[in-house]
Structure 1
Amino acid sequence: MSDLIATQIPRLTLRVHRLDNVRVALTDLPAGTVIEDQGRYITLPGPIRHKHKFVLRDMSVGDFVIMYGVRVGKVTQPIAAGGAITTENLVHSTEDLPTNTQQEAWQPPEVTAFAQTTFDGYHRPDGRVGTANIWLVVPLVFCENRNIEVLRQCVADALGDDPFHSYKRMARQLLHGDVAAESALPTGERLFPNVDGVRFLIHQLGCGGTDSDAEALCNLLAGYICHPNVAGATVLSLGCQKAQITMLQEAIAARDPSGHKPVSYFEQQQSVSEEELIRDALTTIFDGLKKANQVTRQPAPLSELTLGVECGGSDGFSGLSANPVVGAVVDRLVALGGSGILSEFPELCGVEHELLARCHEPQVAERFTSLMAAYQRHAHAVGADFSMNPSPGNVRDGLITDAMKSAGAAKKGGDSPVVDVLDYTEPMTRKGLNLLCTPGNDVESTTGLVGSGANLVLFTTGLGTPTGNPIAPVIKIASNSELANRMSDVIDFDAGPIIRGEADIAELADQLLRLCVDAASGRYVTKAMRLSQLDFIPWKRGVSL
């Protein structure tokens, strides 16, 4: 990120890259404001809202807009120097992919300060280390969602750790008054102090789709069951669905050939009654908790951390502050022998050439090109395109084209070499930076990141989102301080000082890495986990039948 200016940020505007022909407004700018850019003075012909971009010279139809040093759009209407770029005068446009790639030399960041740092994690028999110790309860088909909810309520009541206890007390108070509210059961001491909780997944898949849908679901569930943050699992099946128990068992065996992970299976159509099904499932959950509680946190090197990086509710500052900070953390972790996973293929459209140049092996570059092309073909088949990715909220906050959004989103991956490219549900096997094919949907992508092995997630946002995950801590990073203050119950880390010129990327990256260590050690509980924001949405690529 040598071209990303972080230490000398002008008070009003910012040119991100030396090749850019636009600047970003860091605050609302009225018409007539005079902006200096490399010795030239530009008078804004109209107001520019903060986070939005304006051109540095007169632009004609067909001219290309450059930001982050790459093409992010093509002009469709003339724009006067100082004029704002909008959806009316700019369309998505990217550079053609190169015919061959060349590995760029990477200079790892200085990480001496973290060389001896460890985190306290749960060491698993397969050699991996978890940042949490979870017992997982999983349905193979949506028909079992109701039984999963029954189990959730029963376990919460038995353990006395209902995460919504305070809200239930609030509801009693509103309806019946203070006296009735006081009768709500208080949260008791933790019966299993070395267990971070029981997580109950629900989904809408398992039957009614294609065979590939069922296979993808089983591979995703296997990724969660075999995850280092999971001590074991209880699985509920109806019996007649497409996603069969044997299919899940095969997917688990591929990831855990030694059978280290304890998993119990229950099929409702083979049970005498629902009561027996619930009783047997509860028994395995409580027996599993007793065994899981015998495992304690022990020191582990930072090389055992795998950061999944995600963005959602992005704004015009995301690519200037939060995303580059996360990318710098990934670079630090890779330099220490750890790993990062960058996903959301629709938000890599426009920067493929940069990622291809970073692929350290030709076959890795070929895999990336192949998966991106396949994704595009699938999108076109249903009348969609990557250019449709920016949401209305993104556009309102200055992310006008998908290429512009992608150029900023890709900053989350830092600058280290790409060691592998994974398709959806594939497990990460190579340490270093991996690319993972997922959609741009925040929760679907985060679900996939954890399924492929991320044991900690860094999630950047400029507009605010409560997204979390059932088994992996999700640290929320705000691109601006206004958001961090307004949604302080959701945001864990503020990257806004970069926008104000009060801190640089390296400084905040060191701070964020320390927060990662605390979260991985259980010393810091993320805001999403405190709110029991446990989002799980599988990506359904097939069609319903």
Structure 2
Amino acid sequence: MKSVIETATANSATVRLNPVDDVLIARHQLVAGMQLADGDVTVRGLIPAGHKIAVKALAQGQAVRRYGQIIGFAKRDIEVGEHVHVHNLAMGDFARDYAFGADAKPTQRVAQPATFLGIRRPDGRIATRHYIGVLTSVNCSATAARAIADYFRRDVHPEALAAFPNVDGVVALTHGQGCAVDSEGEALQMLRRTLGGYARHANFAGVLMVGLGCETNQIDGLLQEQHLQTGARLKTMTIQATGGTARTVAAGIEAIKVMLGDANEVVRERVDASHLVIGLQCGGSDGYSGITANPALGAAVDRLVAHGGTAILSETPEIYGAEHLLTRRAVSKEVGDKLIERIHWWEEYCARMNADLNNNPSAGNKAGGLTTILEKSLGAVAKGGTTNLVDVYRYAEHVSARGLVFMDTPGYDPVSATGQVAGGANLICFTTGRGSAYGCAPSPSLKFSTNTALWKRQEEDIDLNCGSILDGEKSVDELGQEIFELMLETASGTLSKSEVHGYGQNEFVPWQIGAIT
């Protein structure tokens, strides 16, 4: 699927995405009686910006298409010019042709990869940031961990890091899990996989892990399961063994002071873009997400892959209904089957929980013009560009492949991005149409607006406006190049807007799954 704007001029009232589409997308609010040149359509009623208008008469039960793909079925007869949304469009079952590998093609590599200024770790991995992290094995040690990190806050105690200008900061990443779960179950394994991924993340120069002492998620068990060893870069302690909260905080501060001396002895060096691992996110989406920011990010991903880098597409519930577009690009049937297996897992999971995969789009998504999860998914997969799907990973699993991969995560952005970073993402790219305030320590997060109105309203939180595509000022490809260059610039140390505002610690949210006892 390609999101091509055929009528992207500043004077256009609507956007047509595919010749076979049954709907047009309003570029701005349309009112009753307006005559649209595209399809000779007379508007019936009020059509908000970003919403759909029927360009054909649709019978009850008929499939409705956008992007040339099914986004739902008419709940009743729909006349030409009518608003098409939740009142007359609904989900329905239909067959997908997975056509495994039908669209896979040889990956084109550039002769001379682009470069950025990265930090080389002793094991050869490349970091985009240089933090000390305080992790917790359990919720019970969260307060102590935050107190340790707060001692080094530049806005509170600027003198604490004054002698260590090469360190980006000390961050505490706490969570609400770690006990009252099956010690052999999937929930604990997933948490340990997440914490293990963060403990070894290249963007951490050193990590202190703090526990209570009696929790199910014993630190020794976590280290053993994740093949981690304590040393100069990884230290551990528990409140019970150390002798209480105050002693733990004091000991933790001293441990980090030792780490800081070594961490400050670092310089950035020029490395090629193959070392970039980008987590792809979209949140607060709207009717323009699949037209502007997501395709532009996809164009940047195509460039990244050509330069040898890796992009992680995720949010399994938000590719539901568009998974056949990814299986067609799978490098093998095995990879395609791995993706479909995760789709089936979600179908069964939702059935067990008496939930519905179409509980997304959210209220904000619907207000922005998205009606069904099918419609949202078709726009969301555009973030993945057009290259082959080379592998599929479980949540927080280490990503080792180069190219476009998929990681199974929920659609909720903090949980999804947490899994991507645990898997090795050293940069997050986040598109939004309704507005977002988000960061993701220790990896920087870039945000892209889908429309210019959002950019003007929330520019202090958005790093790049992709609404210029809709305004007819720039093409998807031009914005793709800008995003790629911004990736390299940010990976080299330039702060994203979320970093300037201090986002990143509270957004660490491991996926909580299974029974709490």
- Corresponding residue for residue 370 of structure 2: 399
Shift of 1:252: 3.4
CA-to-aligned-CA distance 1:464-518 (integer Å, 9 cap, x gap): 1111111000001000111112111111110010011111011111111111111
Alignment partner of 1:230 is 2:204? yes
Secondary structure of residue in 1 paired with 2:375: helix
- Corresponding residue for residue 74 of structure 1: 73
Shift of 1:375: 1.6
State whether residues 72 and 93 of structure 1, in contact with CA within 8 Å, keep that contact through their aligned partners in structure 2: no
State whether residues 11 and 500 of structure 1, in contact with CA within 8 Å, keep that contact through their aligned partners in structure 2: no
Shift of 1:377: 0.7
Alignment of 1:14-53 (within 5 A): 14-37=15-38, 40-53=39-52
Alignment partner of 1:533 is 2:507? no
Shift of 1:117: 2.4
Structure 1 letter corresponding to 2:279:
G
- Corresponding residue for residue 505 of structure 1: 476
- Corresponding residue for residue 144 of structure 2: 147
CA-to-aligned-CA distance 1:78-121 (integer Å, 9 cap, x gap): 11011111211111236423365233144868967xx3421011
CA-to-aligned-CA distance 1:232-253 (integer Å, 9 cap, x gap): 2001111111111122212431
**C-alpha separation in 1, matches of 2:237 and 2:428:** 31
Alignment partner of 1:359 is 2:358? no
Shift of 1:33: 1.4
Shift of 1:149: 2.1
Alignment partner of 1:121 is 2:101? no
Secondary structure of residue in 2 paired with 1:536: coil
Aligned match for 2:176, one of 194, 204, 207: 204
Alignment of 1:293-304 (within 5 A): 293-304=264-275
Q: Please, which moves more after superposition, 276-285 or 187-196? A: 187-196
Alignment partner of 1:131 is 2:128? yes
Secondary structure of residue in 1 paired with 2:135: strand
Alignment of 1:37-436 (within 5 A): 37=38, 40-93=39-92, 95-98=94-97, 100-106=99-105, 115-156=112-153, 161-162=154-155, 190-211=162-183, 212-253=186-227, 262-436=233-407
Structure 2 letter corresponding to 1:229:
N
**C-alpha separation in 2, matches of 1:461 and 1:378:** 27
**C-alpha separation in 1, matches of 2:109 and 2:8:** 21
Q: Please, which moves more after superposition, 188-197 or 451-460? A: 188-197
State whether residues 463 and 496 of structure 2, in contact with CA within 8 Å, keep that contact through their aligned partners in structure 1: yes
State whether residues 98 and 324 of structure 2, in contact with CA within 8 Å, keep that contact through their aligned partners in structure 1: no
Secondary structure of residue in 1 paired with 2:343: helix
- Corresponding residue for residue 431 of structure 2: 460
CA-to-aligned-CA distance 1:283-332 (integer Å, 9 cap, x gap): 21111111111121111100100110101111111111011111111111
Structure 1 letter corresponding to 2:497:
K
**C-alpha separation in 1, matches of 2:158 and 2:278:** 36
State whether residues 239 and 248 of structure 2, in contact with CA within 8 Å, keep that contact through their aligned partners in structure 1: yes
**C-alpha separation in 2, matches of 1:321 and 1:190:** 43
**C-alpha separation in 1, matches of 2:132 and 2:483:** 28
Give the alignment's TM-score, normalised by structure 1.
0.90
Change (3 A) 1:147 1:260: closer
CA-to-aligned-CA distance 1:196-233 (integer Å, 9 cap, x gap): 11110111000123332222111101111111111120
Secondary structure of residue in 2 paired with 1:155: coil
Percent identity, aligned pairs only, is 34
Shift of 1:47: 2.2
Secondary structure of residue in 1 paired with 2:119: strand
Report how many aligned residue pairs link the two structures: 512
Structure 2 letter corresponding to 1:231:
A
Q: Please, which moves more after superposition, 370-379 or 336-345? A: 370-379
Q: Please, which moves more after superposition, 276-285 or 17-26? A: 276-285
Structure 1 letter corresponding to 2:499:
M
- Corresponding residue for residue 170 of structure 1: none
Mind listing any 5+ residue stretches in structure 2 that lack a counterpart?
Answer: none
Alignment of 1:505-524 (within 5 A): 505-522=476-493, 524=494
CA-to-aligned-CA distance 1:102-161 (integer Å, 9 cap, x gap): 33144868967xx342101111122221100111101100001111122122222xxxx1
Structure 2 letter corresponding to 1:207:
C
Secondary structure of residue in 1 paired with 2:311: strand
**C-alpha separation in 2, matches of 1:323 and 1:111:** 23
Mind listing any 5+ residue stretches in structure 1 that lack a counterpart?
Answer: 166-184
Secondary structure of residue in 1 paired with 2:312: strand
- Corresponding residue for residue 456 of structure 2: 485
Change (3 A) 1:367 1:313: same
Structure 2 letter corresponding to 1:26:
R
Shift of 1:367: 0.7
Give the alignment's TM-score, normalised by structure 2.
0.95
State whether residues 53 and 85 of structure 1, in contact with CA within 8 Å, keep that contact through their aligned partners in structure 2: yes
Shift of 1:188: 8.6
Change (3 A) 1:431 1:394: same
Secondary structure of residue in 2 paired with 1:353: helix
Alignment partner of 1:446 is 2:447? no
Structure 1 letter corresponding to 2:144:
N
Q: Please, which moves more after superposition, 206-215 or 223-232? A: 206-215
Change (3 A) 1:26 1:485: same
**C-alpha separation in 2, matches of 1:378 and 1:42:** 43
Structure 1 letter corresponding to 2:296:
V
CA-to-aligned-CA distance 1:360-395 (integer Å, 9 cap, x gap): 011111111111111221111111121111111111
**C-alpha separation in 1, matches of 2:138 and 2:305:** 38
Structure 2 letter corresponding to 1:402:
I
Change (3 A) 1:543 1:106: same
**C-alpha separation in 1, matches of 2:36 and 2:77:** 20
Shift of 1:397: 1.0
Secondary structure of residue in 2 paired with 1:316: coil
State whether residues 110 and 332 of structure 1, in contact with CA within 8 Å, keep that contact through their aligned partners in structure 2: no
